[in-house]
Chains A and B, each alone.
Chain A
């Protein structure tokens, strides 16, 4: 689904590349999380996978990014029209402001694509159901909570049936309730076969939900694997990240001899319960 080869990108005013020699293959339907310290290149990778780099941001590019059949580096953004969805941290800026109800807001992208009205209606209903927004369909987008607005932002791109959904720290401005709503929505989406790429700081959440994690540092991929491997790796702090408290407690317990050293370190609550049970 996604094939990145030797991708290096430098922003127009920058002296050093923000992404270096990225090689990445992502199969369709995977839930891939991207982690790394601020400035490591997570946002840039998100913009690259959704076609905003280089078209929107300009700058210099080396290498290729293929999403499906499309070579993103050579495709102008307008031509991508809805094939790849991008969601970012601020829910407010993702509401168009040009529509007065949630239902009409969802139709906005479909109207731009010239989808016939008869086709719009069932698509909108489907996406309202998928994101749990059915009861809010007639409300003003501005009368929703942060978590609801973020689900609306996700729904607004999902209604265009993209093959790939990219999210850049979508929960950073949300409280735990909103965060849970977003992750539940992402779970529902991956079940429909959508590929999801999520840049995120909340490691305890992606430990539970992601299929695979890549760790970025200085614009390079330094680790790529299953959540257990990446999040329990002792080198994590050297890349500016802290393991989940479950992992921290487990590591401490092992060094103090309370738990046998051969057990794999837990990264989630469920794994921690198993780990600490006799």
Chain B
């Protein structure tokens, strides 16, 4: 299952054994709460007290933390500097030469960073603990458009090969004397011989793949069954319902809290 587009990390945790839609509901709740609760403390509450503990339960805490920080840190640094130093008006709390750090700017930056952490954390949690195909199958079973679920899964598996194909095309054209280094003009001229085979080759591939799928009854109307059994339970169903209510509650709480302040 190791391929570039799939972050899935198999673990013997009970979190991994949850029905994919349950995890989807959990992650949806984290997203909604992380964005709806007022900051800066709202999103951090979600990140530190919901997402991280869940990641620990799923035994993927190190993966989640390292990926989240890798993405959030550069963002955080730039937003803190920009908003902190260039916030118009506001109360300066420190001076750096001719510039001053504004508390409102820092607060805003803290809030933005918190939201980024909540959103990224939620997506990482989903990717790390739910196998993409089980999620798509669960959605299929609930009536999601099968073209959509197919495309998501096929992209995960085929995208790395696409990359390999692009490299082969690059090699083939360089072997015919195509210069790819150098000035803008040269690079632009190199685009067509690189892009056209990729696109046309993909079109041929897509046509053959469409025929293959047809031969496997893909476009047959009617009920479909599934080899993979996704264990579910009344408790999980109840939990999902509760989480949906929780999402609405988080939005309401957010509105109320903002009005109160």
Contact = CB atoms under 8 A, between A and B. Distances in A.
Indicate yes or no for A touching B, C-beta below 8 A.
yes
Interface of A: 50, 52, 56, 77-78, 81-82, 84-86, 88, 90, 92-94, 96-100, 103-104, 107-117, 120-121, 124, 140, 142, 153, 156-157, 160
A261 B109 CA distance: 95
A96 B206 CA distance: 11
Given A56-B214, A121-B227, 6 more contacts: A94-B212, A98-B153, A104-B228, A117-B225, A142-B157, A157-B215
Interface of B: 1, 131, 133, 136, 149-150, 153-154, 157-158, 161, 205, 208-209, 211-229
A235 B211 CA distance: 36
A177 B158 CA distance: 26
Nearest to B220: A81
Contacts of A121: 227
14 contacts: A78-B220, A88-B208, A93-B208, A93-B209, A94-B212, A99-B133, A100-B133, A104-B133, A107-B227, A111-B225, A113-B217, A114-B223, A120-B227, A160-B217
Contacts, number: 104
Contacts of B1: 100, 140
Contacts of B227: 103-104, 107, 110-111, 117, 120-121, 124
Nearest to A153: B212
Contacts of B216: 82, 96, 108-109, 112, 156-157, 160
A109 B217 contact: yes
**Most chain-A Cβ atoms within 10 A of its Cβ — which of B154, B218, B227, B229?**
B227
Given A81-B217, A94-B208, A115 B225 contact: yes
Nearest to B8: A100
A157 B217 CA distance: 10
B214 A114 contact: no
B226 A98 contact: no
A112 B218 contact: yes
A97 B217 contact: no
Given A77-B214, A82-B216, A157-B216, A110 B153 contact: no
- By Cβ-Cβ distance, the 5 closest A-B pairs, closest first, are A97-B154, A107-B227, A109-B216, A81-B217, A93-B208
A120 to B, nearest CB: 6
Nearest to B159: A97
Contacts of A93: 205, 208-209, 212
Given A78-B221, A114-B223, A142-B161, A100 B131 contact: yes
Nearest to A93: B208
Contacts of A157: 215-216
A90 B208 contact: yes
Nearest to A113: B217
Contacts of A96: 150, 154, 209, 212-213, 216
A100 B154 CA distance: 10
Contacts of B222: 114
Contact of A117 (B209, B217, B229): B229
A97 B208 contact: no
B224 A112 contact: yes
Given A90-B208, A94-B208, A110-B225, A100 B220 contact: no
Contact of A82 (B133, B208, B217, B226): B217
A104 B227 CA distance: 7
A88 B214 CA distance: 13
B212 A111 contact: no
**Most chain-A Cβ atoms within 10 A of its Cβ — which of B136, B215, B219, B229?**
B215
Contact of A50 (B215, B217, B223): B215
**Most chain-B Cβ atoms within 10 A of its Cβ — which of A97, A114, A142, A157?**
A97
Contacts of B215: 50, 82, 84-86, 109, 157
A153 to B, nearest CB: 8
Contacts of A153: 212
B85 to A, nearest CB: 49
A97 B155 CA distance: 8
Nearest to B150: A98
Nearest to B205: A93
A112 B153 contact: no
Given A77-B214, A156-B216, A114 B224 contact: yes
